[in-house]
A and B are shown apart, each in its own frame.
Chain A
Amino acid sequence: MQKIDYCDDGQFCSGHVACAGCAEALSMRVILNTVGENAVGVVSPSCVAIIVGGHPTSSARIPFQHGTLESAAASASGMKRALRAQGRDDTTVLCLAGDGGTYDIGLQALSSAAERNEDILYICFDNEGYQNTGGQRSSSTPMSAVTGSTPAGNTTQKKNLIEIMAAHRVPYIATASPSDLSDLAAKVTKAKTIRGTKVIIVIIPCLPGWGVADDAAVKTARLAVESGVFPLFEVENGVTYRLRTTEKPAPIAAYLDQQKRYRHLSDEDRQALQDDVDRNWQRLLWLAAGE
């Protein structure tokens, strides 16, 4: 048993309406408590907006604006500029969005904010699809995964958002997982000390969307990390890659077996996914060694 190293001073309230067992709520609890009370936020329409809650309630202590799906990063930019004009530049501006609002419809606004290096902390809860609308594919959905709009399995690769953001040369990018909350808290803490655009992508296994048991969200996330499907790493200034471990990842079989969305795969399909993961891992090692 690992002791989670972060201070919970009640920034995330009980009574939120996440699905029972959802690891996104767990991640939000750590993020909001680590960000602290001197912050304002924007949520884009997604599971995270549902978890923050409906009018007139809010599960967060900091004020949140429920923005539009394509404009989370633009809204956050406006907030930061208003705070600067008011002499409150020390206030953190937090963006919480899903992968649809980040990889797809919100990418243009995110790219623009990143290009201007707006001083915002952007968190993408990546559950690899439009899970809040019942589970359709997004450009973050991996190859072969079954979704409501890819009943025979997705036929395209998951978009590599990290390298897209790295190409913007933003000061800080990280991946994180609810299976390692101390690491998540440490990355949020580090991001708070950096001026400019910070992007953290948190893997969120979606219980109904991925077909994962109610008590298996954290375990599935851990298998994603340990199998190299979703490795934990940081990118500083778009060029300095730092991996949490360079040990050879475990095979992906145990990760796939947790989920109904991969149940239809043949042995050849599974091997093709393993080959993709291996190639991505080799590339990551190469990027990390590239200094």
Chain B
Amino acid sequence: MNAPLKNRNLKLLNGNHAVAWGVRLAAPDVAPLYPITPQTPILEKLIEFQSQDLFDAELLTPESEHSAMASAISASALGARVFTATSSQGLLLMHELLHYAAGARVPIVMFNVNRTPAAPWGFWPDQIDSLAQRDTGWVQLYCENPQDSLDTVIQAFRIAETTELPVMVNHDAFWVSHSVEPVDLPAADLVQSFLPRVKRSVQMELGTGRALSAPADQASWNLSRRDMDVAMHKVPGLIDAAGREWGDLTGRVSAPVETDRCDDAEIVFVTMGSMAGTAREAVNRLRDTGIRAGLVKVRLFRPLPVAELRDVLAGVPGALVLDRNYSPGTGGVLHQELKSALFGINEAPNLFGLLTGVGGINVPVETLVSLAQEYRGADPVSDPVWVE
């Protein structure tokens, strides 16, 4: 499936530098950026590119993530292509403006590096920072490795500009953000033709006398959410089409929900982000021992690709949902989402919600192998289970 190695432009990059390369190729007009560990290498690499005349966006370095997002919204409302990046506390500080950006329908692309929020302070991979933003109206995508992050951030601009919805792309702190892997860099002209400058309906056109986001009556506010609902419904199909086209161009196909060895599986792992890489290896080891395991990688989390999830999970006897996050009082967020997505379907799998890696603790392949052995053929458990 992949293009031959000799045709590829491989470079050793960590996940954050892969993102910066993707952004450089996507060529935004404006990039407001505020540093935060472990996002900062994205900011630094883009500024380095700019100092070398390889990236000519208007760079703003304001005093907070809140102002970075406010600047991003206004720049996008004037028709500019806009990128920003953040993590954890920064994303949480932006929360008010995440709702605003989605409601104003500005197609910003933001990269978030998933990190534990305080308290207590921590700098570890955990996805609760972005999952807590699930109701803000942003499209959310999760990446497994640096190549996935580069490919996805480029595709995100197309999804945002086609739907006029803001898109948040995520990868895990350190496991992806600071892990170095060979990354294939697509050619600049390839990305340019993949991301044509589409004429958007610019909200703040001179001479129109129009006001953006003015106080609205109940019916207009209601209508704004119905419009977002229509746009959200288009997203899985657009991501699927973008992933196929990207596959034709680069040899790397992607989809809202990706599967590995699921066809005859008796038990599957369902997860997001870097945990998919660990689960992939666990599947191979389980298969070697005769257990028919598989992997369902949820790449698109918002909108939740319900049809795709039902399609791949119907008829599978057991599904282990691996959540590297914890929503106090309920459990893993993906576990909750799957319970509702699969409700009422024929041949729904027995679901097990496993809190794996919360707070960034390491989850080795062996742990996943023994979990699959333990839950294979077990009765369903409604409560989440903490995994050591």
Contacts and interface: CB of A to CB of B under 8 A. Distances in A.
A67 B70 contact: yes
A91 interface: yes
Contacts of B6: none
Determine which residue in B72, B203, B211, B215 has the highest number of CB atoms from chain A within 10 A of its CB, and name it: B211
Interface in B154-198: none
A86 B77 CA distance: 13
A55 B206 contact: no
Contact of B58 (A40, A58, A63, A82): A82
Contacts, number: 160
Contacts of A86: 29, 78-80
Contact of A58 (B61, B77, B203, B211): B211
A85 B30 contact: yes
A76 B208 CA distance: 18
A78 B75 contact: yes
Contacts of A78: 30, 32, 60, 70-76, 82
Interface stretch (A107-115, A229-237, A246-254): A107-115
Contacts of A113: 62
Given A55-B216, A82-B74, A40 B63 contact: no
Contacts of B206: 37-38, 40, 62-63, 91
A63 B96 CA distance: 23
Contact of B100 (A68, A74, A111): A68
B78 A71 contact: no
A66 B212 contact: yes
Nearest to A109: B67
A283 interface: no
Interface string B192-220: 00000000000111111111111111001
Determine which residue in A60, A77, A82, A83 has the highest number of CB atoms from chain B within 10 A of its CB, and name it: A82
A99 B175 CA distance: 46
B235 interface: no
B204 A81 contact: no
A239 to B, nearest CB: 24
Given A65-B77, A71-B97, A74-B71, A55 B204 contact: no
Contacts of B211: 52-53, 55, 57-58, 60, 63-66
A67 B100 CA distance: 9
B63 A53 contact: no
A83 B80 CA distance: 8
Interface in A67-108: 67-68, 70-71, 73-79, 81-86, 91, 108
A64 B71 contact: no
A81 B70 contact: no
Nearest to A83: B78
A55 B70 contact: no
Given A82-B29, A108-B63, A67 B74 contact: yes
Contacts of A63: 203-206, 208-212
A32 B9 CA distance: 54
Given A63-B212, A82-B29, A85-B30, A74 B220 contact: no
Nearest to B29: A85
Nearest to B214: A55
Determine which residue in B74, B96, B97 has the highest number of CB atoms from chain A within 10 A of its CB, and name it: B74
6 contacts: A37-B206, A53-B214, A63-B212, A64-B212, A78-B76, A79-B78
Interface of B: 29-30, 32, 57-58, 60-64, 66-68, 70-80, 82, 96-97, 100, 203-217, 220
- 8 smallest CB-CB distances across A and B, nearest first, come from A78-B71, A71-B70, A74-B67, A112-B63, A78-B74, A82-B80, A82-B75, A81-B58
